[in-house]
Amino acid sequence: MPDPTQTCPQQLWPAPCAARYRARGYWRGVSFGGWLDEIAAAHGPREALVAGTLRLSYDELRNLARAYAAGFLGDGFAPGDRVLVQLPNGPAFLPVVLGLLYAGLVPVYALPAHRDREIAHLVAGSGARALICAESYEGFDYRPLAEAVRAACPSLTRIYIDGAPQAGMSRLADLADTAPLDAPVPRDPGSVAFLQISGGTTGFPKLIPRTHDDYIYSFEASAGICAVTPRSVLLTALPAAHNFPMSSPGYFGALSVGAKVVMSPSPAPGAAFPLIAAEGVTHTGLVPPLALLWMQAAKAAKHDLNSLEVLLVGGAKFTPEAAAQVRPTLGCQLQQVFGMAEGLVNYTRLDDPEEVILNTQGRPISPDDEILLLDEDGAPATGGHGVLHTRGPYTIRAYHNAPEANARAFTPEGFYCTGDIVRLRPDGNLEVQGRAGDHINRAGEKVSAEEIEDNLIAHEAVFDAVVVSVPDRFLGERSCAFVVLHDGAKAEDRALKAFIRGRGIAEFKVPDQIVFTDRFETTAVGKTDRKALRAALKKRHFA
């Protein structure tokens, strides 16, 4: 029997590639546990983490993580067990995640915005044995959610609450009352360190297996590209479970060089600006709508933002016009980042000409990131413009346990099909021009059209539904659902939205707009071709 806790063969890089990545020094052969020991040894007394009233040095962060690690193992978890983590950007996030990794457990990251249907899907898909969540965040009590997920998922045996647990749940902080683990539980650096969720174009999000070797390479290299140094201060403003704030260069990149990480409970200027002023923040990352909001707010800001050196913007297209406003309003340098949780990350470089920084989404981290542009039929694209396919030392070769999705998303040669339509400029920089896949990039959160459609069709009055993305001045894109009701059935906009919320999905997936229509034009496009139907509706209503 293969060991289900280790990387499955399909997820692995072919041996010659792996050998090359090791020989070139990308894969250092260190697991996250060993990495935590390394950074504590190198930067021990320096300040590592500021979150709420918690301030920890590297030594203290490591010790707290080691205590959590011992606590998890003492509660009966075994190396390789999956643990779902749904925590906001608070004091618990980093010590708990590092504790799990130190114990050889595999975090499965979820966003605070996810609700029971999504969490149950992630628990079932990963076989997670435990769930860690906050008692409440932004007015939402997570304990009933956790209980509902446990009732639906037999693998889930323990629930840890950051705050006050209900009966049958455990208090997260109690785990840290354990004598710290002496040394990290050994893990193969080539095995899966954690599971990230994909934005996804189909149904539910898929799970992205990232290995110790590949991930540590991606954030250590990113820290260099983003000029993060021991004197840098990085603010985590976006939800910490996202790949961007985690590794581009993210809190992991910052910790890898001995910088200070500051957690902001929210990305709103009201929460972030005082932290920038108080902690002397030098680096942070935002999605374009938030960058616009910050630039607006900075004009009237009471707080001193002078410490800011680099603002990374990515997750969705940042227009050149908005890009040009970063320095005049925030007084810092813009660095565009075009990345994906599946791997490949591109950055404009800090010493690039202004024209490149404003107009492009940069170029890959690694000399071994391979870029292949194909047309929509899969033939090599001409004219430096096509659908971006990529493989390399930190881009996955397969999703976790998803043979059908893998057949669609990866070529036989192991290239990941990003679905992004890009132009590769002669200078090597990429410009994102659009997308081949059917998802809505709503303020950087990727929402699958199919997933919303499935939720709408579950309503008894709904005969059919088609969801499309619509350009939005602030969000970048918003969702519009076209809905056909059953003959004689009635349903209102508000009731349908409430129904979707009631099904336990994140608020950002509730359609922004619902248009009731009599029937879908199926003659021109063929009844089953939803992709064409989405395109036709979009063209007719929003072109």
Task: Tell me which residues touch ligand OOB (CB under 6 A).
Answer: 199, 243-244, 248, 314-317, 336-341, 345, 361, 418, 420, 432, 435, 441, 444, 446
Residues with Cβ < 8 Å from 529, sequence gap 6 or more? none
The CA distance from 60 to 50, in Å, is 12
CB of 57 to ligand OOB, least distance (A): 28
CB of 247 to ligand OOB, least distance (A): 7
CB of 221 to ligand OOB, least distance (A): 13
Closest to ligand OOB by CB, 328 vs 434, is 434
CB of 315 to ligand OOB, least distance (A): 4
Closest to ligand OOB by CB, 276 vs 337, is 337
Closest to ligand OOB by CB, 14 vs 203, is 203
Closest to ligand OOB by CB, 34 vs 267, is 267
Dihedral sign for Cα atoms in the order 279, 285, 288, 289:
negative
Report residue 363: phi and psi, to 5°. -135, 165
Closest to ligand OOB by CB, 143 vs 317, is 317
Residue sitting closest to ligand OOB (CB): 339
Is beta strand 445-448 parallel, antiparallel or unpaired with respect to 170-171?
unpaired
Closest to ligand OOB by CB, 248 vs 256, is 248
Residue where the block lists tokens 């040394």: 183
CB of 473 to ligand OOB, least distance (A): 16
Amino acid at 282: T
Closest to ligand OOB by CB, 36 vs 421, is 421
Burial 489-516 (b: 16+ CB within 10 A, else e): eebeeeebbebbeebbbbebbbbbebee
CB of 370 to ligand OOB, least distance (A): 16
Q: Give the max Cα distance, the chain.
A: 70
Question: Which runs of E-coded beta strand occur in 264-409?
Answer: 283-286, 310-314, 333-340, 343-347, 363-364, 370-374, 385-391
Amino acid at 443: A
The CA distance from 249 to 283, in Å, is 9
Closest to ligand OOB by CB, 187 vs 389, is 389
CB of 59 to ligand OOB, least distance (A): 30
Dihedral sign for Cα atoms in the order 241, 161, 102, 49:
positive
CB of 307 to ligand OOB, least distance (A): 23
- First CA to last CA across the chain, in angstroms? 54
